Each structure stands twice: as structure tokens, then as C-alpha cells.
Chains A and B, each alone.
Chain A
Amino acid sequence: MALDAYEEASDEALLVLYGNGDPMAAQLLTHRLAPRALGFATRLLGGDRAEAEDVTQEAMLRLWKQATGWRTGEAQVSTWLYRVVSNLCTDRLRKRRTVNIDAAGDPEDGRPSAVESMMDEDRAQALQGALNRLPDRQRIAVTLRHIEGATNPEIAEIMDISVEAVESLTARGKRALAKDLAGRREELGYGED
């Protein structure tokens, strides 16, 4: 198949191609899905990049194993993957809490100074700190809705809850973030109006 045709193919079509023995389809799917899975896992795991990479690799492995038995038209591949990532992260967070209940906090500050000086980077880090202080389910719902750009019905499918429950979780999560980040208003340079 020509490369253009691969690039235009849906995630599901690529997964079916992979299931039929096409390794090129796996490469394209990895390019498309692994960054999204990694970003999502990183946010859920409080900025722990190494653990998020483990989760991403595990989630992608589960996707490969699922390929031959994939039932077309039932769920979007990305929705399925977000669900797996969400479950893997929740498991890890649960285990982490049994080891150290106070582990969650602001992410590490040991980044290169050139990056530290960027406003966006500061805001992203401040947001990550505030996300870490949210209950797990609110963090998952807010991250999916406002960072990953998922719709409420998609989030409902990923989290296996009703759309109303999603709306409630995202509303409460946003309110908590707005309160938590209020103290960073001056520091992050948008309190001069």
C-alpha cells in the first residue's frame, strides 16, 4: 500500500492492517497514538515521565495483542487506548499511595533553565501541580476534557460512567483548579487588569 494511503487510513483501519500482519501499520499507529498516550499518562501520574513511558509501552502492547480480535465499529481505537492508560495509571497511583501517602506534590524543578524561563512551561508545571492535588477521577475527567480534547460522551465511555457524571466531575475539577491556581495569578503574569 502507498504511504499516502496509510497516512489517510483511520486508526481502526491501521489496526486491522497490523492484525493482518502489516508492520508498517504498527509504525504509523505508534506515531499517532503513543504521544497522546504518553501525554495523558504523564498528567495522570503527576508528571512522572519515566513511569508514564512504562504505562505507554504497556498500553500499546495491549493494543497489539488486541489487534487480531478487534471488533470493528464498536469503539474508537483512541478511546480504547485512553481507557487502558487511565486504568493502568489508576492502578499505579493506588500502589504508590500504599507506599507513601504524601508522595503527590508539585513536579520536579530540575529542568534546564532555558525551558524554565518560558511562561508556558511555568503554567504547564503549575497546572500539573494543581492537577496532582485533585482526586483521581476529577483529574482524569478534566485532563481528558480540557487537555486531550475528548468529548463528554467519549469520556463517559473511557471512564465507564454516565455523561452527567462526567459533567459533574469536570465542573468540580475546574472549580478546584481555579481556586488552587488563584494564588499564582501575579506570579504567572496575568493579574494586572
Chain B
Amino acid sequence: MAKTDKQPLLDSELELFFNAARKADVEPSADVFNAIIADAEAQLSAVETLPVVGQGSQEGGWLQSIFSAIGGWPAAASLASATVAGVWIGFTQPVQLETLSGGLVLSGDYTAADTSYALEDLAPGYLGTTLFAEDEG
């Protein structure tokens, strides 16, 4: 029996339409193709001719001059790394420092040493530590 117009298409019938659409010619014309390529080349040229900030001009100011003088980004990166390392060494416990130095800096367990030095032993009177000692009795 023939299907009536009121019955929706089956998936297989609808697929014929999708197939036909997939086969349809959608190649861009030569003009469009050339225009797209011209845009690509113009964009490349625009990127290549962008002025470098601070190069050969005074626009960067004194901060830019200092930045350039120390060697630019590579030097700034090294400086940042050294700063972070310095902070870490400053905060880390001496035990770790000993581990890192292979026992050259400190030997034994520093935290369990028999002899320990308080700040007032090293710098008597410094920052009024004697007052604290007196308060403690």
C-alpha cells in the first residue's frame, strides 16, 4: 500500500534528503577563496609589522630602560627564581638545609643538639630581650 502524504517520512526516507544535501556542491568560488587567502596574508603582515614596545623609542620610560638593562624577560625570570629560592631557604628548617648540603653546613640533628643558643646569648640586650628574661623570672 502506498504511503499517504499525512504519514511522516521514515528515517530511511529522510536519510535520502540528508544524503542529497551532503552531495550538494558547496565549493567556494575562486573570488571567495582568493579573498580568504588575501585576508590571511594581510593578517600575517599586520602581525609582523606590529611595533615592539620600547624598542628605539622613549615610550617605555625609565622602568622599561631598567628592565632592558638587566637583560629583559630572561633576566627577570632568573631574578624571580633566585628570590623564591632565597625566601624558601630563609623559612626552611635547618635540618633540611643540612640534608641539602650533605652535612657540610651542619652535622647531626641540629634540633636535638645539647648546646643551644638563645637570641640573647648571641646579641645580649638586643631588642630588649633582657626585659623578657626578667619578666619570666
Complex alpha-carbon distance, A68 and B37, angstroms: 17
Q: A124-B23, A182-B5, A185-B5 are in contact. Are A53 and B16 (CB under 8 A)?
A: no
Q: Is B81 an interface position by the 8 A CB rule?
A: no
The dominant DSSP class at the B interface is helix
Mask, B11-22, CB within 8 Å of A = 1, is 101101111111
Q: Are A56 and B28 in contact (CB under 8 A)?
A: yes
Complex alpha-carbon distance, A175 and B11, angstroms: 9
Nearest CB of chain B from residue A37's CB, rounded to whole Å: 9
Number of chain A residues whose Cβ lies closer than 8 Å to a Cβ of chain B: 49
Q: Are B36 and A124 in contact (CB under 8 A)?
A: no
Within 8 A of A (CB), among B58-110: none
Complex alpha-carbon distance, A130 and B3, angstroms: 20
Mask, B40-65, CB within 8 Å of A = 1, is 11011001100000000000000000
Complex alpha-carbon distance, A18 and B27, angstroms: 22
Q: Are B41 and A26 in contact (CB under 8 A)?
A: yes
Complex alpha-carbon distance, A124 and B20, angstroms: 5
Q: Are B27 and A181 in contact (CB under 8 A)?
A: no
Q: Is A121 an interface position by the 8 A CB rule?
A: yes
Complex alpha-carbon distance, A21 and B39, angstroms: 13
Q: Interface of B with A (CB < 8 Å)?
A: 2-3, 5-11, 13-14, 16-24, 26-29, 32-33, 35-37, 39-41, 43-44, 47-48
